[in-house]
């Protein structure tokens, strides 16, 4: 598999999703040019909610192409770049991460099997390694196969995703009194990640912060 991967890289060398520069998927110049970090306080939503941080707008082709390259072109190296960017953002966020765990929004097992991986899990695991915080992709489960949120109006997205997640019955002590970072790739209405966060709040975390690569409108 590794040989095939190297062969493909030779025949079809990576290009920056922004400027087309070869041998890099997200060049530093394009990252700096397109960074538009937004932090929104969610403290009025739930007592144990913290902030929502996103890196840029989904309508920006740079972030849209980066997400697509990871999800649909299987260029998982994109996740390395995103994790480095998130690590820098978290270092400036002034969050207490001494007792933290990062959890990805899960895919339904059918969709994950079709795609071969969960893009949010790949990104969050790499953030965990860089920031030296715990990671677990088994605590939150997508138990209902839902239609793509993109097919619904903003209002109907909340109904579509309702009651689609559950918590694993084991190891919930990993969440209790901890700071939870919940990560999704694209956050538009916030229906999906809010549904998951509300469920996680039942396990009595100290605080829940939300992370998204891109924000929709």
Residue 2 belongs to a domain = no
Residue 13 belongs to a domain = no
Average pLDDT over residues 99-104: 98
Domain count, the chain: 1
Integer Cα distance of 22 and 13 in angstroms: 7
Walk across the sheet containing 38-41 and list its strands.
38-41, 49-57, 207-215, 179-187, 100-104, 134-135
Digit-coded pLDDT (tens) for 54-92: 999 999 999 999 999 999 888 889 999 999 999 999 999
Integer Cα distance of 115 and 68 in angstroms: 12
The enclosing domain of 147 has a CATH number of 3.40.50.2020
Residue 12 belongs to a domain = no
Digit-coded pLDDT (tens) for 19-62: 999 999 999 999 999 999 999 999 998 899 999 999 999 999 99
Residue 20 belongs to a domain = no
Determine the pLDDT at residue 171: 78
Integer Cα distance of 43 and 50 in angstroms: 5
**Structure tokens belonging to residue 22:** 């070869």
Residue 202 has pLDDT above 80, yes or no: yes
Residue 9 belongs to a domain = no
Residue 44 belongs to a domain = yes
pTM: 0.91
User: Domain of 75?
Assistant: 34-215
């Amino acid at each position: 598999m590794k040989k095939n991967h190297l062969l493909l890289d030779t025949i079809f060398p990576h290009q920056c999703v922004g400027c087309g520069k070869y041998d890099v998927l997200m060049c530093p110049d394009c990252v700096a040019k397109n960074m538009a970090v937004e932090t929104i306080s969610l403290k009025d939503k739930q007592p144990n909610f913290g902030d929502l941080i996103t890196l840029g707008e989904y309508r920006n082709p740079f972030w849209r192409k980066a997400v697509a390259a990871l999800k649909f072109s299987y260029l998982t190296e994109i996740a390395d770049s995103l994790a480095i960017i998130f690590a820098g953002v978290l270092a400036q966020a002034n969050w207490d991460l001494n007792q933290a765990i990062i959890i990805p929004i899960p895919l339904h097992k059918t969709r994950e099997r079709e795609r071969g991986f969960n893009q949010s899990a790949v990104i969050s695991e790499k953030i965990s390694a860089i920031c030296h915080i715990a990671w677990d992709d088994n605590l939150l489960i997508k138990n209902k196969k839902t239609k793509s949120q993109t097919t619904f109006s903003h209002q109907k997205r909340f109904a579509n995703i309702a009651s689609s997640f559950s918590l694993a019955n084991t190891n919930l002590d990993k969440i209790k009194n901890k700071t939870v970072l919940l990560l999704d790739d694209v956050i538009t209405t916030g229906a999906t990640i809010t549904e998951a966060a509300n469920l996680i709040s039942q396990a009595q975390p100290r605080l829940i912060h939300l992370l998204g690569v891109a924000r929709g409108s």
